[in-house]
Structure 1
Amino acid sequence: MKLGIIGESGLYDLEGLENAAWQEVDTPWGAPSDAILTGTLDGLDMAFLPRHRRGHALAPSDVPYRANIDALKRLGVTDIVSLSACGSFREEMAPGDFVIVDQFIDRTFARAKSFFGTGCVAHVSLADPTCRRLSNAVLGAAEAAGVTVHEGGTYLAMEGPQFSTLAESRLYREQWGCDVIGMTNMPEAKLAREAELCYASVAMVTDYDCWHEDHGAVDVATVVRTLQGNAEAARNLVRGLPERLPPARTACSEGCDRALDHAIITAPEARAPEVLARLDAVAGRVL
């Protein structure tokens, strides 16, 4: 077991890691968002990646999602916990609460969403885009940390960087039945599945988007104030994960680590060598 943590705004490092070191990782997909902080926490190997780079220098559309997932896989990561800021469409999911996401609606359009393509085509199942086994461990750690946490929720992934219009907010909430909205979990979750990595998503609520009549439009100042509290709660959640995750990695009961078993459709003789070379980390097990 090696746990990858992808950090959101306000969470740019992890405290308390033993043998902590920032590592630069090269990938066929370019450089990841930042160097990756590796170390151990209570005996569990960990790798932490700041999604937006330290100092928040990358906009959601500019995050190198493929490089990030590839880099974590190259470092031996088996499981990923994604921490991300989000807006809420539900009164009961208040700012400061955490939501353990189990479904997504992807409305992004300006991002590369797959490691595969011409030269080697693959289709993975995304019916259940998060890992229930890992999500249950995260839920327990959040509860133990004293966070108000909601089990299950649908995350609307928007392109951004602008926040929603009121019409969009009402559409997503009232007609589509979404629970939270953010800009970063897609294509991250799709790529994690292609890389056969277990993926759990923690959506950290910062605001009510703009549908809520008593709260008005979203503004960065409000978001940042809530982010500061959420970041400390996220650190406490992460500190509780080692006792809930076995150091010896066994096969995932959800099958996340075997997602490519029947996914690659291109015949072996038709696979492009240069494409296969890029897939050495992501799909090396089946190639």
Structure 2
Amino acid sequence: MSTSHIAYAVIGGTGLYQLQGLENIERVALDTPYGKPSGDVVCGDFHGRRFAFLARHGESHSLAPHRVNYRANVHALHQLGVGAVIGVNAVGGIREDMGPRVLALPDQIIDYTYGRLNSFCDVEGAEVQHVDFTEPYTASLRKALLQAAERAGVPVVDGGCYGATQGPRLETRAEIARMRRDGCDLVGMTGMPEAVLAREIGLPYACLSLVANWAAGCGDAVEISLDEIFAHLAAATAEVPKILAELP
């Protein structure tokens, strides 16, 4: 199977290690100028279109958020010539309407991460790019995902601000209170630098956030249960292929 003309690439986060329904599969091992990606890119046919899938943390979830080679992941998809990238991210909910099992398409992001290699410019001899990041997610791709979700009958919250933290630990109640004051509606660990790298390299990019738990101090829970996180995440993840199947 040829890997050319791939309409969409999906970068799967925690709980999404393969794309159910992908057929005629070819695993592509790639190397990039920035090292190796998190694993093989799995290419195949999905509801009449060509898709590529990459597990952000590796298929065995062996890479912590701060150790993911985001540059290699994004560059590998660029090498394959994909048309657009959808980052699927497990997150915590801060805003009242973003509780567990909610799916959301944020339209803004605040970066609280540190020490990550966050630009393709950060190599000797590379031309420095000052990309416009006013709107961090591609409007046309967000619209396509919202319309696909509507056709699929899957409720999705339109908009919101994603706060990207370092991880792998979860946040303190005080940290989430600060993020709420900053305007964050969701909190996750992998939204950056993935989004800005896609912008630098010219790939349309959007984030589909899956709420796995209330963030610290939000909702009714006194303590965050990992068992509950994985149960909520499994339920939300099951909705993702339904949306992707309706993309144009």
TM-score where L is the length of structure 2: 0.93
- Paired residue for 1:200? 206
1:209–1:217 contact (8 Å) kept in structure 2: no
- Output the CA distance in 2 between the equivalents of 1:157 and 1:21: 32
Matched, 1:229 2:240: no
Matched, 1:212 2:184: no
> Which consecutive unaligned segments of at least 5 residues does structure 1 have?
245-287
Matched, 1:66 2:71: yes
SS in 1 for 2:238: helix
SS in 1 for 2:59: coil
> Which amino acid letter does the alignment assign opposite residue 149 of structure 2?
A
Higher radius of gyration, 1 or 2: 1
The CA deviation at 1:231 is 1.5
- Output the CA distance in 2 between the equivalents of 1:62 and 1:161: 10
- Paired residue for 1:81? 86
In structure 2, relative to structure 1, the CA distance for the partners of 1:177 and 1:8 (3 Å cut) is same
- Output the CA distance in 1 between the equivalents of 2:83 and 2:222: 41
The CA deviation at 1:96 is 0.7
- Paired residue for 1:190? 196
SS in 1 for 2:239: helix
SS in 2 for 1:86: strand
How many residues are matched? 241
- Output the CA distance in 2 between the equivalents of 1:216 and 1:29: 42
1:106–1:156 contact (8 Å) kept in structure 2: yes
1:163–1:218 contact (8 Å) kept in structure 2: no
Matched, 1:152 2:159: yes
TM-score where L is the length of structure 1: 0.81
> Which amino acid letter does the alignment assign opposite residue 148 of structure 1?
P
- Paired residue for 2:177? 170
The CA deviation at 1:43 is 2.8
The CA deviation at 1:219 is 3.1
> Which consecutive unaligned segments of at least 5 residues does structure 2 have?
none
Deviations 1:196-223 (A, max 9, x none): 0000111111111112251123232221
The CA deviation at 1:237 is 1.5
- Output the CA distance in 2 between the equivalents of 1:183 and 1:44: 30
In structure 2, relative to structure 1, the CA distance for the partners of 1:148 and 1:94 (3 Å cut) is farther
- Paired residue for 1:179? 185
- Paired residue for 2:108? 103
- Between 1:215-224 and 1:105-114, the stretch displaced more is 215-224
- Paired residue for 2:34? 29
